[in-house]
């Protein structure tokens, strides 16, 4: 957040790799064993008008 006095625009990006409340529901929650890895890739495209 850049603050209103600075008159700048901001964008927050959060990858959505699981449904809402996944930690509590366990739905589509990926648990990694020690030493294991998981990769997730996504692209972001922006256009200033």
| Interval 31-45: pLDDT, tens | 899 999 998 888 888
Query: Token pair for residue 40?
Result: 């997730």
pLDDT tens-digit series, residues 1-31: 556 777 777 777 776 777 888 888 988 888 8
User: pTM of this prediction?
Assistant: 0.41
In this structure, what token pair is assigned to residue 26? 């366990």
CA angle 35, 37, 42 (to 5 degrees): 165
The pair of structure tokens assigned to 8 is 């700048």
């Amino acid at each position: 957040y850049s603050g209103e006095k600075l008159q700048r625009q901001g964008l927050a990006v959060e990858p959505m790799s699981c449904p809402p409340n996944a930690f509590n529901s366990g739905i589509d929650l990926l648990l990694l064993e020690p030493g294991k890895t998981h990769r997730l890739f996504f692209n972001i495209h922006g256009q200033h008008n």
